[in-house]
Amino acid sequence: MIPSGASSTISNFPAVADCSRRSISNSPAAADCSRRSTEKAPPPRRHHSRRCVLPEDALYEILLRLPAKDLCRLRAVCPPWHSLLSDPHFIDAHAARHTDPLVVVGNQACEQNGPVLCDIVDLSGRIVKRVPAAGYEDGSRTNYRWVRFVMCTHADLVCVADYGMGMSCQLLNLATGAVHDLPDGVAAQVQEQQGITCYCAWIVFGLVPSTGEYKVLRMVEVEYLFGNPGMVEADDFDHPAASDHCEILTIDGSSPATSWRATHAAPYDLELLHSDSSAVIGGIVYFMLSYDYWDHHGTELGVVGSFDLETEKWRSSIRGPSSSGHHATLEDIKIAALSGHLALCCRTYSSSTMDIWFLTDFHKGSWVKQHSIKVSLFHVPNVAQPLLMLKDGRIAGHIENWAFLENYNQKIDINEPQMKSYVAVGLYGGNLLSLANGNAETF
Amino acid sequence: MEVDKGKGEAEETRKVAEADRDTVTLKSSDGKLFEVSKEAAARLSTVLAGMIAGGSIDDNGTDLKQIGSEALENVVDYCNKHANSIPSAALISSSISFNTAPFKEPEEWERKFVDRLSHDALFDLVEAANFLGMERLLDVTCHKISEMMKGKSPDQIREVFNIKNDYTKEELEEIRQELAWAFYDD
């Protein structure tokens, strides 16, 4: 902050002191200074006798301009700088000045059993921060030939799971690098069953706004090797009878979550093939319904289902935009959270465009077409999933393992396509300068 | 722009004569005199604008005891160059939103203006700009210093800023481990 009414200070030139003893207004740096030196600030020195002595407001302005990575490194300069650069007021001011969005790209470092690497990438494709974590440290687990997937992101948290094969799930904190193992095993209710194998078919987590807790919702596919009384008999060993169970885990940050709780099964078939077939907005998880489901029933029963993380109840399904009935396959429709809205991105072959519809009223099921993007060959065969809308109208998103920045007809890759296995892309909602984000700090 | 509207009718003759001049004379801490456009000085510096409006400008050289001749020369140089290059409307709008707006990129000539300065001269100019309430010049000089700091190690920054390393080896190692990601290159 620059004093504007400085005329009154003309005979009162701001005291100039070494940076190492300097305190910054309204920052805890002052407390640290007292420990370093109690002598009075030296009188203003002339420019021949010293270097690099800056008024505090100017130093504050200079530091505010630096990227987060530089600032984190500069915490090692001296204790007063460390205090200033960790001060919540400074961090907020920095965030207000540096509003460019960041994207989390989750990579599988090697083909199997390697640690998951998460990169925080800016929109020019530069890796701002790389977080290596969530590998198998326990040697016994390497017997599993499963592959880990980055499933979803929120603030500084990333959920990693043995999607579709195992049961192991972890939350990774991008700020601290800490890895938090979610409880092994399944809910007691499921466990009682005999002769079953389970795997995590889907996992998603989100913040419950009213309580500040995180809740993790997962769908467990249970296979009954010898058939299950009361259910469809297994045809043979290759096609065992199976059923889906939904489980929930509450993470309130104060005590470690110990076990999964069984919750109601979904009242409709969900489409859980792609890592991008769900979206979390304001404590509600939205899912694409299975293509079989809405194909067989027309659009009568809707294309989007949802689960309320607070009440732990499934909500009624909603229909898609009126034109979505024309879509031939599920490949042509994607669900996304865009600017805080639920969005459906629908590819229309006839016009070579991708329409982005926003849900404006859940109860009425009304959608408004917000954007119509001309699609290039690049988009074949899948519809891209947009991540965010920039102020100038550009849209950043990803398609399979490519992240891109779309300016309607113009595509710019933001992440050089290295064709790594199993890449997931999400919006980064954390702050690189802060070490903790709410409940995440306990992980 | 009229800067002397607030002057009373009964001003002394000397001051009236001074008000008619279109430059003001500034005196550095080491006694050197510099002439600067009154319009530019009033527009770019809240302190000088206040002094001009309040009639506290000394015709024989207004004492600026805290600013050395090298820094004052740069201030005057900047004011005179600025007088010809940026319309005041743009400047006013940039200064109103100074605290919240995204950083305004320096103009090409401003970039060149600060690029030629040594470290010491640049830091002195920041101090002078801060003292004189020259927001735009502070913006330009702070931008330059932040550019110089990018990618530097804590050791390099300590040297440039003349900061004593108050950390113990253990404390430093702890920070390095905690923020390891910030210490390796892309």
All structural domains of chain A with their residue ranges: 56-98
Q: How far is A312 from chain B (nearest CA, A)?
A: 37
B-proximal residues of A, 128-147, CB under 8 Å: 129-131
Cross-chain Cβ contact B179/A129 below 8 Å: no
Three-state secondary structure call for residue B180: helix
Q: Does residue B181 form part of some domain?
A: no
Cβ separation B164–A18 shorter than 8 A: yes
Nearest by CB: B182 against A18, A73, A97? A73
Chain B nearest CA to A436, separation (Å): 13
Nearest-neighbour CA in chain A from B82: distance (Å):
20
At residue B60, the 3 state secondary structure works out as coil
CATH of the domain at B26: 3.30.710.10
Q: Is B167 exposed, middle or buried (0-12, 13-18, 19+ CB in 10 A)?
A: middle
pLDDT of residue A417: 40
Contacts of B122 in chain A (CB under 8 A): none
Residue at B102 is within a domain: yes
CA distances from A368 to A27, A306, A346, A357, A390 (A): 47, 19, 12, 5, 19
DSSP B163: -
Does the pTM surpass 0.80? The reply is: no
A157-161 and A169-173 as β-strands: parallel, antiparallel, unpaired?
A: antiparallel
Q: pLDDT category, A81, cuts 50, 70, 90? A: very high
Instruction: Identify the residue among B43, B95, B146 best suited for mutation to test binding to A, counting A beta carbons within 10 A and taking the highest.
Output: B146
**In terms of pLDDT, which residue wins out, A239 or A313?**
A313
Q: Do B162 and A52 touch (CB under 8 A)?
A: yes
Three-state DSSP at B149 gives helix
Count Cβ atoms within 10 A of the Cβ of residue B24 and give its class: 0-12 exposed, 13-18 middle, 19 or more buried.
buried
- Mean pLDDT along residues A338-350: 78
Sheet with A241-251: list strands edge to edge: A196-208, A213-224, A241-251, A261-263
Residues of A in contact with B120 (CB under 8 A): 47, 51-52
Q: How many distinct structural domains can be found in chain B? A: 1
Tokens, residue B67: 């600013």
Q: B162–A53: do the CB atoms touch at under 8 Å?
A: yes
Q: Is residue B52 part of a domain?
A: yes
> Which tokens sit at B74?
């740069």
pLDDT tier at A234, thresholds 50, 70, 90: very low
Percent helix, strand and coil across chain B, each to the nearest 5? 55, 5, 35
Strands B62-63 and B23-27: parallel
CB pair distance less than 8 Å for B166 and A36: yes
Site from B46, B145, B170, B185 to mutate, A interface, most A CB atoms within 10 angstroms: B145
A397: pLDDT confidence band, cut at 50, 70 and 90? Answer: low
Residue B120 falls inside a structural domain: yes
Q: Which of A52-56, B42-46, B105-109 has the lowest mean pLDDT?
A: A52-56
ipTM higher than threshold 0.95: no
Q: Say what the pLDDT of residue A309 is.
A: 94
When scoring A12, A35, A46, A51 by the number of chain B Cβ atoms within 10 A, the one with the most, hence best to mutate, is A51
What is d(CA A224, CA A237) in angstroms, rounded to the nearest whole number? 10
DSSP track, A132-195: EE----SGGGGGS----EEEEEETTEEEEE-TTT---EEEEETTT--EEEPPSS--HHHHTSSS
d(CA A401, CA A399): 6
pLDDT at residue B125 greater than cutoff 90: yes
In Å, what is the CA distance from B186 to each residue of A100, A127, A129, A130, A415?
19, 7, 8, 9, 14
pLDDT of residue A157: 83
- Asked, for residue B30, whether it belongs to a domain, the answer is yes
Domain with B28 in it: 13-150
8 Å CB contact of A6 and B149: no
Partners of A75 on chain B (C-beta within 8 Å) are: 175, 179
Q: Is residue B24 part of a domain?
A: yes
| pLDDT of B53 over the 80 cut | yes
Q: Please provide the average confidence, as pLDDT, over all residues in chain A.
A: 68
pLDDT value, residue B78: 92
pLDDT in tens, A140-151: 444 344 456 667
